[in-house]
Amino acid sequence: MEEEPVPPPGVDVEAGPSNDDSVLDQPRPSGDDDEEDFDDPFDIAHTKHAPHHSLRRWREAALVLNATRRFRYTLDLQSLEAREKRSKLIRAHALVIRAALLFKLAGEQSIVGDEEPSPSPSNEFGIGVDQLSSLTKDNNSSALQNYGGVAGLSKMLNTHLDKGITADDDELSKRRSTFGSNTYPVKKGKTFWRFLWDAWQDLTLIILVIAAVASLALGIKTEGIKEGWYDGGSISFAVLLVIFVTATSDYRQSLQFQNLNEQKRNIHVEVIRGGRREKISIYEIVVGDVIPLSIGDQVPADGILINSHSLAIDESSMTGESKIVQKDPKKPFLLSGCKVADGTGTMLVTGVGLNTEWGLLMASISEDNGEETPLQVRLNGIATFIGMVGLTVALAVLVILLSRYFTGNTKNSDGSIQFEKGKTSISKTVNGVIKIVTDAVTIVVVAVPEGLPLAVTLTLAYSMKKMMADKALVRRLSACETMGSATTICSDKTGTLTLNQMTVVEAYVGRKKISPPEDRSQLQNEVSSLLDEGVALNTSGSVFVSKDGKSIEVSGSPTEKAILQWGVKSGMKFDDVKSECTLLHVSPFNSTKKRGGVALQRTDSQVHIHWKGAAEMVLGSCTRYLTSDGSLQPIDNEVGFFKDAIEDMAAKSLRCVAIAYKKCEMDKVPKDEEQMAEWVLPEDDLVLIAIVGIKDPCRPGVKDAVKLCSDAGVKVRMVTGDNIQTAKAIALECGILASDADASEPHIIEGKQFRELSEEERENVAPKIAVMGRSSPTDKLLLVQTLRKLGEVVAVTGDGTNDAPALHEADIGLAMGIQGTEVAKESSDIIILDDNFASVVKKFIQFQLTVNVAALVINVVAAISSGDVPLNTVQLLWVNLIMDTLGALALATEPPTDHLMHRSPVGRKESLVTNIMWRNVIIQAIYQILILLVFQFHGESILNLKDDGTGHANKVKNTLIFNGFVFCQIFNEFNARKPDEMNVFTGVLKNHLFVGIVGATFVLQIIIVEFLGKFTSTVKLDWDLWPLAALGKLIPVPKTPLAKVFSKPYRRLIASRDSRSNSLKHE
């Protein structure tokens, strides 16, 4: 195996990435049935990385109803596969074109010979767009040499290699107009008309439209245009309304996803302009910019390497080959879209936007807005089952109504028989059959819960919008729902539990404690000078001082910034120190050794090697220490003192960093570039200069958050690269460890200890671990894999590239956005964490199931008993609209409450429809069915309605049933808000959208009954009947809490049984 280069100093000093190959190529958790599990799309454990054929499988499992409306929110597998094929083709074409160009250039050069390229006359720069593009695309080293290398190229582009370009607007706009901007056209999403067309494709709606047209024609023929168009017209209008609302909803979600995709693409990168480092959007980069690169970054544009230290690039996104490519002066070409796998460097931008292969590739691939989540897979299974039940009921109703109709058992409202053999005209017979068919088809429309995928999409969009407001960006939609199942969180310390605002608060030089730490008055000049060297030159950060010297900006990782700020406050002149020394070689930070070093040559020709890193690690390599007066003393007798000092600082939650150096003889320094690049800096026989303690305060409220997680049954574990004592102190401060009594093995363990355990021992220890200190990326990954193997649903937080393997392996990866590297973000699912998800979908399922059960039972019973259905086509389509679109919108935007945090995680395999939900659905549905059937059979006598021969009494009764059914659904929405809480009205007024939708539904129902009776087959109700309809249906609201009270003892029994089984499992 080739040795992989070590990571750079751009990573946090205490917990950087590993140079261990096994970290990046770790296998998934092993197991006998792993392959089978991975291919099962119903297993939430593995759908995160599921292949296309596995996602296809469930769709082929059974008859799928209403496919067009049902799957409009789910992943279009065909277009996804086509897109990937297109991407590969484009990449292949690009390689063929490049090969042809190189062949052509080689031929031209052999004829003409190497000539000095002529500057482009078309702009005021010394080179044109085409010449720059061909440099990187063709890896044309000879042309680069002819331009005078990167130095000559920078002169042509009016760029200073150290300070970059000037940042004034005129200069930037001039470069954009000459060389283009770093953007590429993104294909537009579907238009509203396309969504209308898609919604129109639903087979059940097409059948209804055909029936409506036939009804319209027959109605006009038999009753004339004035009266005959009502039935057909009202069905047509209702269907068009459903199509319009569906298309509008889909279109809005499409726009939301486009905005979120734009957010995902808008990466922020660091550039050097006017000598200072600043963060800008990737879209603002121009040709001539100087960009620092460090491990985990995405190369934001095409360019040429200026300088590098062990820089390795992953070019797989462009070439398709997973081989890591080393970059140096001989291979200086960098391609946009590739990732920095290792090392650090700076680059000169030579191509942006469509002048790069990445830009052309991105412009040719439209962004896919859909992503299939495990929940949607399960929901479609539920929807198909409910749809099958609905289809069965509809067929039963159709058969019953037709048989009653043709046997003369169906009567009109005035008592006359609808069909008499040999007497009823053909047109009347056809019209009667059409009415029966439309009623049956409408049952299918209502029964098939196409609102389920809509609820998912609305909830995701709402959750993502809310999370964006809290600076959280969801990269993988499934993470929102899986988060509700999380049983453990493996959290990084820095920036997650702490503020990532580090300051040096303690410092030791020799045995002397410097107080305040910035006071160097007690240090001899040579000691101060060596300290400045170690701080200013062995760093990946930088210090920018304004021309007037009044403002100072420090950039770099939080630890680097803290040490640089300490140096500046102590009087260090950063630029002066750098100018007095020549950097010979850099040994980037290594997360296994937990230190990084540099070799430098001073003006007096002395070569110094400086090391900086985890205090106890560096201390172990020291044989002497430097006193404050500049004398060298053997360290043997003082090791105990320094270890005590480190432990004392660690106990105060301080991160301890040591700075050491050694002199190097000139004859041991490599002479040529190749030897220098492979030089392994000596790290023995070091002289300790200083030990500093860095304070990183705990985030406000982190203790409450940890307690909330604990109450919710989610165990928080801290996995950090820090000293075990520092980790323990922070864990006690954050509440991860309850007391000092818990601060012992196996609750606290070092990464190395855990790594060296056997697999069986790891499985026994892992559930008990609360804190893992001095952990490498391998240890973090091992812990995640072990916990997942034990059935835990694992969330991992992290920010560095070293966290990428664990983020990728976890069920939910949560990357920290501000300090996080692009590689960490790409491996994650959510950038920062906020919401709970599954609860919202469960509310909607409960609401929808109740409506379905009630509507189906009422129509079947009425059809069997009277040959007529009380809820006709238009009425059911209106209920369908309330139930699917408006209901989904109202419940999907219902914010989660703190009550959720007192409930155990739902578990990986738990059914979507829980026992509590079935209880609520059955109680609600039985109540609705009973009350409405009482009105169906005894409504006329209860309301004291007299039959006057016109059928008015029957119409009043049916109107009251329709009214009551709609009010039941309105009040049922309140119950569905809080499926397992007593007070269903808690916080209702805070959700303005919910109140607005419920209010609008109420008002529209009054308008439909009172003013649109001819369309909906209803009659105006006396005002004394309205309170009866409303109050009778209010009973579900207090009734449900009663059911919750009676079911509590049973739930406690189940909970105690589960907790006992869990504790036995872990013992």
For residue 779, CA distances in Å to 351, 379, 737, 751 come to 40, 37, 20, 6
Phi, psi of 308 (to 5 degrees): -155, 160
Residue 337, sorted as left (phi over 0), alpha (psi -120 to 50) or beta, turns out to be: left
Q: Are 186 and 366 in contact (CB under 8 A)?
A: yes
At 355 the pLDDT is 85
Q: Residue 550 corresponds to which amino acid?
A: K
Q: Are strands 503-509 and 512-514 parallel, antiparallel or unpaired?
A: antiparallel
Return all residues near 973 (Cβ < 8 A) that are at least 6 apart.
847, 887, 890, 891, 994, 998
Task: Write down the pLDDT at residue 893.
Answer: 63
Cβ neighbours for 985, distance < 8 A, ≥ 6 positions apart: 974
Two tokens, residue 312: 């390795």
**Whether 688 contacts 642, CB under 8 Å:** yes
- Helix H or strand E encompassing 994: helix 992-1011
Q: What is the pLDDT of residue 506?
A: 92
The string of DSSP codes covering 86-145 is HHHHHHHHHHHHHHHHHHHHHHHHHHH---PPPPPTTSSSSS-HHHHHHHHHTT-HHHHH
**What is the mean pLDDT for each group of 10 consecutive residues in the chain (1067 residues)?**
40 39 38 38 44 50 43 50 61 57 52 43 73 82 88 90 87 90 79 87 75 76 73 78 79 72 76 87 91 84 87 75 77 86 86 83 55 58 74 85 84 74 80 80 68 60 58 55 70 71 88 87 88 89 77 80 90 86 82 83 89 90 90 89 91 90 89 80 91 84 77 83 84 83 80 90 92 85 90 75 68 56 47 39 64 72 67 76 67 58 54 69 81 81 73 82 83 74 74 84 87 83 73 50 46 42 41
Q: What's the pLDDT score for residue 948? A: 67
Which among 202, 302, 492, 532 is annotated as catalytic? 492
Q: Centre a 10 Å sphere on the Cβ of residue 612 and count the other Cβ atoms it contains.
A: 28
C-alpha to C-alpha distance for 338 and 136, rounded to whole angstroms = 13
Please report which helix (H) or strand (E) contains residue 545, including its range: strand 542-545
The gap from C-alpha 1057 to its chain's centroid, in whole angstroms, comes to 34
Residues sharing a CB contact under 8 Å with residue 199, sequence separation 6 or more, in sequence order:
68, 69, 72, 205, 242, 243, 244, 246, 247, 250
Q: Could you give the CA distance from residue 913 to residue 592 in angstroms, rounded to a whole number?
A: 47
d(CA 102, CA 95): 10
Taking the C-alpha atoms of residue 937 and residue 432, their distance in angstroms, rounded to an integer, is 23
DSSP 770: -
Backbone angles phi, psi at 400, to 5 degrees: -65, -50
Q: In whole angstroms, give the CA distance from residue 763 to residue 752.
A: 16
Q: Where are the beta strands (DSSP E) in 352-418?
A: none
Strand partners, 1013: none
- What are the two backbone dihedrals, phi and then psi, of residue 590, each rounded to the nearest 5 degrees? -125, 125
What does pTM read for this prediction? 0.56
Which H/E stretch holds residue 566?
Answer: helix 558-569
Whether residue 325 contacts residue 334, with contact meaning beta carbons closer than 8 Å, is answered with no
pLDDT value of residue 958:
83
Q: How many CB atoms lie within 10 A of CB 867?
A: 19
Residue 640 is encoded by which pair of tokens?
């105990």
Instruction: Say whether 548 is catalytic.
Output: no
| Predicted local confidence at residue 660, as pLDDT | 94
Decide: helix, strand or coil at residue 507.
Answer: strand
Residues 6+ apart with CB under 8 A from 394: 440, 441, 443, 444, 447
The residues facing 812 across adjacent strands are 795
- pLDDT given at position 86: 60
Question: So what's the pLDDT on residue 3?
Answer: 40
